[in-house]
Structure 1
Amino acid sequence: MTAPQPTIVATSGGHRVGARARVLFDSLVHHAVDLSGVHGRRPRVLYLGTAVGDAEHVTARMHEAARYAGFDLTPLALFPMPNVEDVEATLLAHDVVWVMGGSVANLLAVWRVHGLEGALRRAWRAGVVLSGVSAGSICWFQGGATDSYGPRLRPVTDALGFLPYGNGVHYDSDGGRRPLIHRLVADGTLPTTHCTDDGVGLVYRGTELVEAVTEIPGKGAYVVTREGDRAVEERVEPRRLPPPPD
């Protein structure tokens, strides 16, 4: 099964601490799987941990989270070399791609070296749901605000551009992100920018934002647009997702 339209779920969430596991998949990951339309078998999730250097301990936690969720998870590692012969065929064999947060600048550089930009675009058009958290959200847009270059937040403007907007993540938990996003939109560095509080995700069909969803009550999504030489922010109220099955 594949999604009926090209689908992206861009989030500032998706993980939670479990009673018996360090990390479990929260409602946003389950929603991405639901949007893929898979039924009658275990969902196939491709995990991309490039932004954390394919750290083995993080991959192990993702495997554990997938086991609890009832998903079949395959890590696509690029360090020290790709762990599969055919990257594009591997992408197309899965229902959902989940991209871990970390350094979006490093992620983009490594993906381009290995030709993932084109392969991911073709998988998206074929109905594989693209999703992720933080760096795994920004990567699908024109760019956003990042700490990839050091503790001081800076703009990144050369992301994949599947979606023709900027992206702001961790909008409520990192005090520097909102003012920087506003400056970048006001001066034209970023186009209209879609932002998420922690626990919130944005669902796109093609390049259209169709819904904001959340796993945490009271959180918000935001659209920041340019009016003259200033940025104007509008809150988008997200729909509360049901909790994932135990």
Structure 2
Amino acid sequence: MTTERTILATSGGLRPGERTYFEFSELTQFAVDLAGVTGRAPRVCTISTACGDNPHVMHELGEAARVAGYDHSHLQLFSMPNVADPAEHLLAQDVIWVMGGSVANLLAVWRVHGLDRAMRAAWEAGVILTGVSAGSICWHAGGTTDSFGADLQPVTNGLALLPYGNGVHYDGEARRRPLMQRLVADGTLPESYCSDDGVGLLYRGTELLEAVAELDGAGAYHLVRDGDTAVETRIDPRRL
């Protein structure tokens, strides 16, 4: 396990598998490599609270982890936690990987079970935190979400391990970019970092270290407020 507080927040890391429903792709493997595990299989815990611990999703994530060679576990919260002490379980991992879905529901359920505190403790202990979409926004102060319906809305009660807004699927869904710009411009969200599909944002502590990509041509973006507008600057990712 690394001793540095590390988050890889992504709009990727998972793809359709050849012989399984899912495969973990380069962004997830990069997160696992960051843990620096040698001499054994890396311990990776997947969490799918954002899709209601859907049994199909949990099974297929387990299959993807098996193909990748991870020592895999899944932290399930519905209808009750599947381990006696979720916080202790998370601290024993090398990597925590969070599935996408409803970030609003994820945040609410995590707080009921004390996972907001448990995630901070794991982060401070050097466990790598990563995930896709909702599993990216959750580490930040907030972002844009379809948790409340088809029309995108802001979510502003993220765990705020990172003091920024986070825009996911920046090039994949046409409404994401203009809404992020508006939310930063009017102060609903703070300074923000955004990722095209296939891009990850690597933070050491609370500072962005670099953007990385598993797809050619994909970008990352920095948004800051200037008066009543948002200024967007592209960050060219390093191709994995």
Same-fold status (TM-score > 0.5)? yes
2-structure distance, mates of 1:108, 1:74: 21
Letter in 1 for 2:143: G
What is the CA-CA distance between 1:73 and the residue it aligns to? 1.2
The two structures, once aligned, show a CA RMSD in angstroms of 0.6
In the TM superposition, 1:16-165 aligns within 5 A as 16-165=15-164
- Which SS does the other structure have where 1:4 is aligned? coil
What is the CA-CA distance between 1:16 and the residue it aligns to? 1.4
Letter in 2 for 1:99: V
| Count of residue pairs brought into register by the alignment | 240
Stretches of 4+ aligned residues off by more than 6 angstroms: none
Q: Output one character per residue of 1:1-58: Cα deviation in whole Å (capped at 9) or x when no partner.
A: x123100000000011222121100001001101111111001101110000000100
2-structure distance, mates of 1:63, 1:79: 17
What is the CA-CA distance between 1:92 and the residue it aligns to? 0.9
2-structure distance, mates of 1:79, 1:18: 26
What is the CA-CA distance between 1:66 and the residue it aligns to? 0.6
Structure 2 unmatched ranges of 5 or more: none
2-structure distance, mates of 1:48, 1:66: 12
1-structure distance, mates of 2:131, 2:157: 18
2-structure distance, mates of 1:14, 1:120: 20
What is the CA-CA distance between 1:206 and the residue it aligns to? 0.3
Q: Output one character per residue of 1:99-129: Cα deviation in whole Å (capped at 9) or x when no partner.
A: 0000000000000000001111011000000
Which residue number corresponds to residue 223 of structure 1?
222
Which residue number corresponds to residue 244 of structure 1?
none
Q: Output one character per residue of 1:71-113: Cα deviation in whole Å (capped at 9) or x when no partner.
A: 0110100000001111111001110000000000000000000
Structure 1 unmatched ranges of 5 or more: 242-246
Letter in 2 for 1:148: S
Letter in 1 for 2:181: H
1-structure distance, mates of 2:105, 2:87: 20
1-structure distance, mates of 2:85, 2:111: 15
TM-score, length-normalised on structure 2? 0.99
- Which SS does the other structure have where 1:74 is aligned? strand
